[in-house]
Structure 1
Amino acid sequence: MATSSDLPTGPTDQFTPSPLNQLLYGHIHSAAVRAVAEHHIADRLADGPRTAEQLAADSGLHAPSLRRVLRLLAMHGLFTQDEKDTFGLTDAGQALRTDVPGSQHAVALLFTDEMFRRAAVGIPDAVRTGTTPFEAAYQVPFFDHLAVSPGERELFDTGMASMSGRTDDLIVGSYPFPAEGTVVDVGGGRGGLLHAVLRRERALHGVLFDRPDTVSDHVLDTEEVRGRWSVRGGDFFSSVPSGGDLYLLKRILHDWSDEECVRILGAVREAATPGTRLLVIDSVLPDNGDPHPAVELDIVMMMLVTGRERTAREFEDLFSRSGFRLNRVLPTPSLPSILEAEAV
């Protein structure tokens, strides 16, 4: 009869999951991340490792189930688990705390929200019909849904601001912004990128332009940029503020179809004078089909909206149709690149 010492304990040389197996468990991994984010487990580990029983007692959770979820996420690098069965945070897991710079807690809640889950279920139909899964599930386009759903709009805006907060300084450091003049951030959300630009160049002025309900919660009112900004609400399909020396479109065009992008770029071109520069900050897919992290983001776009991630050649086509000329593409240390175009 076999004893406990005869039983295998090291899984790494017993079974190696195939890429297919790992993909099939994806929805389980994201649900586990949502569980610890909803219950602020990372915040409860800020002062050091604790057992599942201690964490459950503090948060009113079921300790055995919590332990199993933490064990899974420890296997994927978000937590540590020691021989005493206590759990701690890894560097990657620290991002799930709500009280750290660059927190991704809001991003985790957004990307695991029911809106995204319901849309993902529709991917097989999208492959068959070309329809947008979110619109098929909710019977309304994504941004129209957010406009009448304050809670989900707040979740989206907060999640987007959290994602941007990690990249804004990296983007600003990757481009020679002018020392003076006016920068217009079109679709600039709460103003994180514009704030980073104005903080870097002390003589620049800025205009934040986005939906009125979004810009009303802007982050520009700080001492560092005081007196050098204004806020405008409106619809970038119709018109954008004129008089800018430089226009910004960060993570905007990937939300929209080619025809809708031409309308947005056309509104910017109407506001700009010949020679005015435009920076489109978006992921740029390789032309040759090489792997790229934005390919996953492209599927998110397919799920939710009419947009997609694009190659440099596809961006160049949009610019030429809208009265702009692509000058250059600059990489950044983050996912998006900077496409510099000029009004012709």
Structure 2
Amino acid sequence: MAQDPSQVDTILSQLQTAGASYKANTPGAREKLMSLSYDLISKLELPSESIMRMGWAEPAKAANCRTAIDLKIFDHLKESGEAGITAKELALKTSADENLILRIMRHLAAMNVINEKSENTYSNTTLSDALSEPRYRDGILFLYDVARPSFQHLPEYLRNTNYALPTSVTDGPFQAAHKTDLTAFAWLDKTPPYLQAFNNYMSAYRSGKPSWVDPGFYPVSERLVEGFNPEYSDVLLVDVGGGKGHDLHELREKHPQLPGKLILQDREAVISSLSEKDGGVFEALSHDFFTAQPVKHARAYHLHSILHNWSDDDCVKILRQLRPAMKPGYSRLLINEIVVPPQKAGWPITSMDHVMLILAAIQERTEAHLVELLKKAGFRLVKIYTYESGQESLVEAEVDESQS
């Protein structure tokens, strides 16, 4: 099938413009370059090549990365530095067949995971170095061993349900793939190695991406610091379900002069695992967000990637527990989530929506969907802040005083 040269020319021109923006460190330029690069490939790639890539190139890449992690190949590459390492040397270090190692390395080099320095000699890349770190390595473990089988079973699952939208957290694609009636998160709790891998990966998932506390994203000073009134409460922000406090550490680091206290809330199992050094940044409280919020009249209540883990009904229940604790006209509700745009959503957003579909039969939400949930819980939307080409947004809402 013939490609349209005019479409290719248009993308090439746009790439030049985006390239200049990237050199000027324009926010969103990197993401724009990536998007245009994918567009260019899609216009140049033959249908037969697309099928090859989807059918065996990408699956082989994922499988080889998984094997490379088992054999600590990425660690050996990093240790070898610029000199690189031969397939024969890797075979000796891993006790694996040399020809097998060579074939794995060739494909990983072809897919730009590693660098091919010369015949049968390979060296590290930024990506392969990252895959030697526990948080990125565990991303491969979790996604290959836990998420991938669910994607693989999705077509069969949908056929068996006559293509009904999955809505049950205990009877969805994940359960069909892993032969369990547990929810994905309950299954993880009973499978400690993958629970640890999931938690580690979550610390890396947002690495390098714009954060709501970054300059130019959410106006922290204008919306939180200005107007802070310690007579209402000495708490500036409560991070509800905030895990180990990554957001609070980043908030304090990038805004060291913040007034008031920062409070971290999560399950007892998470809170008890925190180190003492966290005490200087925030106070940690065990709390179930399906129960009444105990911290009253804080300036803000923050939920990061909480609602996308729950059904609409559960989201409303979570939000309703916050409303009585908030002071109308003062307290702010901050929801840090993916907000699906009405059109031209990028693959990081659409693919995450599918991850939620296969793991928990839930979804990422549009602005209209979020507004509906907020209204049901007694809130009104103030504004949605989105960084240029960013994946996550910050939704600011407040108590709707018209609802008694």
* TM-score, with structure 2 as normaliser: 0.73
> Number of residue pairs matched?
324
Q: Distance in 2 between matches of 1:228 and 1:248?
A: 16
8 Å CA contact 1:187–1:249 kept in 2: the answer is: yes
Match of 1:133 among 173, 195, 205: 173
1:192 positional shift? 0.7
1:38 positional shift? 2.8
1:290 positional shift? 4.3
Deviations 1:300-340 (A, max 9, x none): 11111132111111111111111111111212364211111
Quick one: structure 1 residues 171 and 67, their matched pair in 2 at CA, closer, same or farther if it must change by over 3 Å?
farther
Quick one: structure 1 residues 118 and 18, their matched pair in 2 at CA, closer, same or farther if it must change by over 3 Å?
same
Deviations 1:100-155 (A, max 9, x none): xxx52222222112x22332233124434244111333211112222333332222
Aligned pairs for 1:11-26 (under 5 A) are: 17-25=48-56, 26=58
Aligned pairs for 1:271-282 (under 5 A) are: 271-275=325-329, 276-282=331-337
1:196 positional shift? 0.6
Q: Distance in 1 between matches of 2:272 and 2:206?
A: 18
Amino acid at match of 2:291: S
Q: Tell me whether 1:54 sits opposite 2:89 in the alignment.
A: yes
1:261 positional shift? 1.2
Amino acid at match of 2:358: M
Aligned pairs for 1:112-131 (under 5 A) are: 112-113=144-145, 115-128=146-159, 129=161, 130-131=165-166
Query: Which residue of 1 is the match for residue 277 of structure 2?
Result: 221
Query: Which residue of 2 is the match for residue 43 of structure 1?
Result: 75
Q: Distance in 1 between matches of 2:61 and 2:207?
A: 25
Q: Distance in 1 between matches of 2:45 and 2:238?
A: 58
Q: Tell me whether 1:257 sits opposite 2:311 in the alignment.
A: yes
Q: Tell me whether 1:170 sits opposite 2:232 in the alignment.
A: no
1:165 positional shift? 4.3
Deviations 1:29-82 (A, max 9, x none): 221221222333222112231112212222222222122122112112111113
Identity of aligned residues (%): 28
In structure 2, the gaps of 5 or more residues are 1-43, 167-171, 229-234
Q: Distance in 1 between matches of 2:324 and 2:59?
A: 45
Aligned pairs for 1:295-306 (under 5 A) are: 295-306=350-361
Deviations 1:178-221 (A, max 9, x none): 34642111111111111111222333421111222223333672
Quick one: structure 1 residues 190 and 314, their matched pair in 2 at CA, closer, same or farther if it must change by over 3 Å?
same
1:15 positional shift? 8.0
Aligned pairs for 1:135-150 (under 5 A) are: 135-136=175-176, 137-150=179-192
Quick one: structure 1 residues 133 and 44, their matched pair in 2 at CA, closer, same or farther if it must change by over 3 Å?
same
Query: Which residue of 1 is the match for residue 138 of structure 2?
Result: 106
In structure 1, the gaps of 5 or more residues are 1-12
8 Å CA contact 1:161–1:189 kept in 2: the answer is: no
RMSD between superposed Cα atoms in Å: 2.6
1:246 positional shift? 1.0
8 Å CA contact 1:285–1:292 kept in 2: the answer is: no
Query: Which residue of 2 is the match for residue 158 of structure 1?
Result: 200
Q: Distance in 2 between matches of 1:280 and 1:43?
A: 38
Higher helix share: 2
